[in-house]
Amino acid sequence: MTAPDTWSETALVNVYDMTNATNMDIAAITETIDIDMGDKDGEAISTVKGGRLWKKTPQADTSITFEGYPISIGSSTDVTPDGLIQFFHHSGSDHVEPLSVTSSLTRAGFGVTIMWTDDTTCTTARGAVVEAANALRYDFQNCYFVSCKASYTDKVLKATWIFKCPAFNSAGTANLTTNSCDETAAMPGTGFATITSDAEIEE
Task: Please report, for the chain, the start and end positions of each structural domain, with discontinuous segments joined by +.
Answer: 12-38+56-188
The CA distance from 64 to 84, in Å, is: 14
pLDDT greater than 50 at residue 128: yes
Query: What is the architecture of the domain spanning 12-38+56-188?
Result: Roll (2.30)
pLDDT more than 90, % of the chain? 84
Burial (Cβ within 10 Å: 0-12, 13-18, ≥19) of residue 48: exposed
pLDDT greater than 80 at residue 175: yes
Q: Mind listing the pLDDT tens digit for each residue in 103-118?
A: 999 899 999 999 999 9
Residue 1: its pLDDT value, please? 63
pLDDT greater than 80 at residue 48: yes
Residue of 104, 124, 93 lying closest to 21 (CA atoms): 93
Residue 203: its pLDDT value, please? 43
Q: Mind listing the pLDDT tens digit for each residue in 83-97?
A: 999 999 998 888 999
Q: Across all residues in the chain, what is the average pLDDT?
A: 92
pTM here is 0.90
